[in-house]
């Protein structure tokens, strides 16, 4: 059975985002009074009282910078929640945020979109992810929220 790893925003990128986000803006941390924000640094929902920030993140641009790939028109940036200060990262290697409608967007190694799929609920998530990553031309998958289109995390084999 293939193992898949959900990847949070890398620590070096988080450090940069907590100073200036990918749109060049300084973050504006707030105390989360309600909780429930999907944190991309530790792949869990925030709890009431935590300090979080909403920052602009460009996952394909950052990936391309490390690989030399050119995402071209697929380069995009969007809002993500992170802890305002450094955190310990994910507590498990499981796949979070699967209990709602999600879009699985497939990408090639050079950052080109190869397709996408709407997934309706937790029971359909694992089979859809397996199908996406069984395709050898797919290097990674972005999991996105349907409601806002926000990037949640990247999944790769292994």
pLDDT (tens digit per residue) in 127-137: 999 999 999 99
DSSP 98: -
82, two tokens: 């992170």
pLDDT value for 2: 61
Whether 53 and 100 have beta carbons less than 8 Å apart is answered as no
Tell me the C-alpha distance between 17 and 53, whole Å: 10
> Nearest 5°: phi and psi at 148?
-120, -10
Instruction: Please tell me the number of Cα atoms within 13 Å of 44 on its side-chain side.
Output: 14
Per run of 10 residues, the mean pLDDT along the chain (length 158 residues) is: 82 97 97 97 97 96 84 87 96 87 93 93 92 95 90 91
Tell me the C-alpha distance between 106 and 111, whole Å: 9
pLDDT value for 1: 43
55, two tokens: 């920052």
The 3-class secondary structure across 107-151, one letter per residue, is ECCCCCEEEEEEEECHHHHHHHHHHHHHCCCCCEEEEEECCCCCE
Calculate the alpha carbon distances from 140 to 24, 51, 84, 111 in Å.
26, 30, 27, 9
| Helix, strand, or coil (residue 42) | coil
């Amino acid at each position: 059975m293939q193992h898949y790893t959900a990847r949070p925003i890398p620590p070096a990128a988080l450090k940069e985002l907590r100073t200036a986000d990918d749109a060049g803006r300084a973050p504006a941390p707030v105390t989360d009074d309600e909780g429930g924000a999907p944190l991309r640094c530790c792949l869990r929902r925030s709890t009431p009282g935590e300090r979080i920030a909403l920052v602009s993140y460009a996952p394909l641009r950052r990936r391309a910078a490390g690989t030399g790939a050119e995402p071209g028109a697929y380069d995009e940036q969007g809002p993500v929640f992170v802890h305002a200060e450094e955190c310990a990262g994910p507590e498990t290697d499981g796949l979070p945020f699967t209990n709602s409608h999600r879009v699985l967007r497939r990408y090639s190694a050079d950052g080109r979109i190869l397709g996408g799929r709407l997934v309706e609920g937790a029971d359909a998530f694992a089979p859809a992810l397996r199908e996406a990553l069984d395709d050898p031309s797919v290097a990674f998958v972005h999991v996105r929220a349907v409601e806002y289109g926000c990037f949640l995390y990247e999944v790769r084999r292994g």
